[in-house]
Chain A
Amino acid sequence: MRALLTNLLNPGEAPADINRLSIPWGISRHQLDRLTGIESSLATDEETELLMAKALVALSEDPSSPCFLKTHCGNYPLLGGEHRFPIPAIRCVIHLVRHPGAICRSYANHLGCSLETVVNILSDPGHVVGRVDLLAVPPEPVGSWSQHVSSWLGWPEGKSLLVRYEDLREHTEDYLAAICDHCSISYNAQSLKKAIEFSSLEELRRQEKAKGFRERPPSCAQFFGSGRIDGFGDDFPPALRETVLAHHSAVMARLGYLEGKA
């Protein structure tokens, strides 16, 4: 998605460099500290979350941006009941979801761990994407897959666009156009086609092979995979499939993942 938006918003003659995507990987600590004026590394996770909410408000008031921001965070309220993402500060939300079976495979590759470990992670209400090596990004509370999806489904109606990864892969042009309409991004058929071509998985893999991808963790052999959209597929261990369904079938049904298609 970040590659798609970068190629759409900053069109060039060649695909955008995957190591210089214009959509940031969250708010870095450096940016958080500059926006708040406070050294957030001296704050607890709860205090950092409060600072983050203030930073988002400050960012939204900056006339030089609107900007897109990626987050792994669930839309959970803060300890005192405050909004983690202050609603007036957020113009619109693109809520990207994916079949939990596919996420398990992808995340296992990302973390370099077993499928069983990731199945447990996806069911963990306390799951946090934390500080990794020198990546200076404040912790992001994710929670379980179901909690995370449900939290964003609660965003005010009309300001959030739910996009299934599988649909985006199969009908990229239609869904990218819908995203542009939702976010008031100007486009035409040609700009969409070019952005899609420059952001294809083949192109992303090609760039990663040629010059590496700085966001690839050491545990991960290759960041950009095949982009599977077959949900569990035929090779997901049956016992683990049952575990995923036991924890997440309600939300899966709500997203249409139990209707015989991915």
Chain B
Amino acid sequence: MPPDNLYAAAPSPGQSRGAGASSHDPYLSNQVFGLTVSSAFEIGLPLTRLVGPADIFIDQGSVPSLLPHGVWKAACVQMNETEIVFSLPRLGRVMASQGNRIIVQAHAQSNTHALAPFLRTAGLGAILHQRGAVTLHAAVVSIGGGAVALAGASGAGKSVLAAALQAQGVALVSDEICCCDPTSLQVSSGVPEIWVWPDAAKCAAIDQVDAPRVRDDLSLKRLVAGAFAAGTWPLTRLYYLEPGDPHENGSVESLPPAEAVALFLDNLYQPQLYPLQMRRAVAECAMRCAKELPCRILRIPRSLSRLGEVVDCLARDAAL
């Protein structure tokens, strides 16, 4: 069982949150991973009217360069019992606090727009850790009423594969982060967007010419999901993407449970940020997935021109 929420409830809109806080526009509100997010500035999430209290507030403010009692978890990440700070060279700092607040401080030469992508990934990922979720570095699609996770390292092809499946009518659950309740193995839907590079999108025959950029100074594009499976879905299959021979089609290989556990743990999102009290829950979740769910290695050839064959291979295996 995950630990009880250790953190205070999110303050209501307009309630004072200390020096430097600003009141929130109640119209800037989104549902992401089952949470209502209210942001004081544009972060590229679809906007809806705020209904009820927000779970997470995002605001600009002062973020310490050194966290009190902080431990460096990576070269650019510090963590203490209640806060996680990401220091982004030349851009600024993003702090996830107590599972209910994200504070952003941009450097003088930067702005919140440049920090927004990191806020939406690392920042939200850290909040999910603080709230007791298990997260995989994976795109998730909905097949047969269940959530199918496509996990892999950066550049493995998760997003472009999800986009290619979308093009065949498969609904997106989330890109980048698979947010899973470790007890129920229910996966929560994320943002109805896929971020793809133009050359990858081209190989998947996806039109992205008019799509907006994730950042003005980056060619990475934001594609709105054509079909989106909002809500929660039972996790039913896991695919771990690995590079295959560049001259062969995609292939699928079943995994024995021990290897499936190892790959699950290897593909956790921000693994170094799990608090100590979560580690047992994470391990148990890994073992349960390995035992109860079909886990596969999906080999993707280096050449994106064979992506269609990879999609076919996955579709046959998942009985699409």
The interface residues of chain B lying within 8 Å CB-to-CB of A132 are 302
Residue in contact with A42 in the complex, picked from B77, B153, B220, CB distance below 8 Å: B220
**Chain A: residues with CB nearer than 8 A to chain B?**
28-30, 33-44, 46-47, 50-51, 54-55, 57-58, 131-137, 212, 214, 216-218
Closest 8 pairs between A and B when the two form their complex, measured CB to CB: A136-B155, A37-B74, A37-B77, A30-B153, A50-B89, A29-B154, A54-B75, A58-B75
Cβ of A39 and Cβ of B153 under 8 Å apart? no
Majority DSSP secondary structure for residues of B touching A: loop
17 A-B pairs within 8 Å (CB atoms) are namely: A29-B155, A34-B74, A37-B86, A37-B273, A38-B88, A38-B118, A41-B154, A42-B218, A47-B90, A51-B76, A135-B155, A136-B155, A137-B155, A212-B247, A214-B243, A217-B246, A218-B302
Cβ-defined contact, A51 with B89, below 8 A: yes
Asked if B121 and A37 sit within 8 Å, CB to CB, the answer is no
Asked whether A134 and B217 contact (CB < 8 A) given A38-B88, A47-B89, A217-B246, the answer is no
When C-beta atoms are compared, the residue in chain A nearest to B305 turns out to be A218
- List 7 additional A-B contacts (Cβ < 8 Å) besides A37-B77, A42-B220, A47-B91: A30-B153, A37-B76, A41-B155, A44-B215, A50-B89, A54-B89, A134-B302
Q: Report the bound CA distance from A131 to B160 in whole Å.
A: 15
User: Do residues A30 and B155 form an inter-chain contact, with CB atoms below 8 A?
Assistant: yes
Q: CA–CA, A29 to B220, complex, Å?
A: 15
Contact pattern, B 89-118, Cβ under 8 Å of A = 1, otherwise 0:
111000000000000000000000000011
Look across to chain B and name the residue whose beta carbon is closest to the beta carbon of A61: B75
What are the residues of chain A within 8 A of B218 when measuring CB–CB? Answer: 42-44
Specify which chain B residues have a CB less than 8 angstroms from the CB of A37 in the assembled complex. 73-77, 86, 122, 270, 272-273
Contact residues in B for A30 (Cβ distance below 8 Å): 153-155
- Interface positions of B from 124 to 165, Cβ below 8 Å from A: 153-157
A38 touches B76 (CB 8 A): yes
Contact B157–A134 (Cβ < 8 Å):
yes
Which chain B residue has the least Cβ–Cβ distance from A46? B90
A39:B246 contact, CB within 8 angstroms: no
Per the bound structure, the CA–CA distance linking A34 and B121 in Å amounts to 14
